[in-house]
Structure 1
Amino acid sequence: MEEDLIEFRVKLGNRIKEIRKSKGLTQPQLGSLINKDYQDISRLENGKVNPSAFYIWQISKALKIDIEDIYNF
């Protein structure tokens, strides 16, 4: 079960990184859009944190995408 969670977090982080880069944003730029530090974005993209639903929603709005697109991995 723990391995599944780790795998999920890594896939989620990779997907967010992929979308962020496709939008031409840096980690600090995305962070500033949602009032997070770039280290927070880095930890998320590297699968080190369990983001809340609200955190993912904020990211989807900042990236101007549907929240479902983040989970399309």
Structure 2
Amino acid sequence: MDLEKFKIELGKKIAHTRKKNGLTQPELGALLGKDFQSISRIENGKVNISAHFLYEIAKALNVSVETLLDFKN
């Protein structure tokens, strides 16, 4: 999988998990100390986030990093 496809799939998984947890982009952003535009860019696959930030997102969504990286489910 190339980087662009990876960013898109990761963004979709984060968006799906956020919605499943009943959070809006601004609410997730507030938990992470980011604005909703940053969350939007991540969910739309526009940003290559760091491993640490991925960990912080997973923690805020109460899931494991592995869950966010499992694009099959």
| TM tier relative to shorter chain | over 0.9
Residue-pair matches, total = 71
Task: Write out aligned runs for 1:13-52 (5 A).
Answer: 13-52=11-50
Q: Gaps spanning 5+ residues in structure 1: where?
A: none
CA RMSD of aligned residues (A): 1.0
Give TM-score scaled by structure 1 length.
0.94
Give TM-score scaled by structure 2 length.
0.94
CA distance in 1, matches of 2:25, 2:60: 12
Q: Percent identity?
A: 51
The ranges of structure 1 where at least 4 consecutive aligned residues each deviate by more than 6 angstroms after the TM superposition are none
CA distance in 1, matches of 2:64, 2:9: 17
- CA shift at 1:24, angstroms? 0.3
Deviations 1:41-73 (A, max 9, x none): 000000000000111011011001111100010
